[in-house]
Amino acid sequence: MDAEADVVHKIYHGSCLCGEVTFAAEDVSDIWYCHCKQCQHLSGHIVAAAGVSQNNLEYAGDISWSPVSSQTESGHCTTCNSLMFWNKKDSGSISILIGNFADPVGLDVKGHIFVGEKPNYYKISDDLPQYDQYPEGGIR
């Protein structure tokens, strides 16, 4: 049997809290916990997100893109303000915050990134790999 024929290109769907913004994402990466300073400010704590190629993401609805740094921007619903996307410009991929997925079954948590920026008020108590910034080779 041809192994290639078994590859399933699963499409994940999701939305913001109010339902105004919806998305469909194909070939989503596994989930990473990000402890960086940007995510601390954007989310109030840490962010759990999965990546998708920009070409494999479709969304509809009114999204506001806010600059986070000269190279990054966040996308949120203009109605309910759900934080949905984090885009590193020129990277070719977009991170989708996992809380916006309707049913993220099949995605596993890969590990922790930007642990070098983690504040001291909490401990990481699982056995997943930890990286000071990005792991070598990126986070796919």
Tell me which residues touch Zn ion (CB under 5 A): 16, 18, 20, 34, 36, 39, 77, 79-80
Residue 111: how many CB atoms within 10 A of its CB? Answer: 19
What HEC string does the chain produce?
A: CCHHHHCCCCEEEEECCCCCCEEEEECCCCEEEECCHHHHHHHCCCEEEEEEEHHHEEEECCEEEEECCCCEEEEEECCCCCEEEEEECCCCEEEEEHHHECCCCCCCEEEEECHHHCCCCCCCCCCCCECCCCCCCCCC
Q: Which contacts qualify for 134-137: CB closer than 8 Å, 24 or more apart?
A: 135/111
What's the closest the beta carbon of residue 54 comes to Zn ion, in angstroms?
18
CB of 119 to Zn ion, least distance (A): 13
Q: Considering the complex, state which of residue 10 and residue 45 has its C-beta at the smaller distance from Zn ion.
A: 45
Looking at the Cβ atoms of 36 and 57, the one nearer to Zn ion is: 36
Nearer to Zn ion by Cβ, of 20 and 30: the residue is 20
Residue 26: CB minimum distance to Zn ion, A: 22
Of 107 and 115, CB closest to Zn ion? 115
Q: Could you tell me the smallest distance in angstroms from the CB atom of residue 27 to Zn ion?
A: 22
Q: Give least dist CB 82 to Zn ion, A.
A: 5
Taking the least distance from each CB to Zn ion, the nearer of 106 and 116 is 116
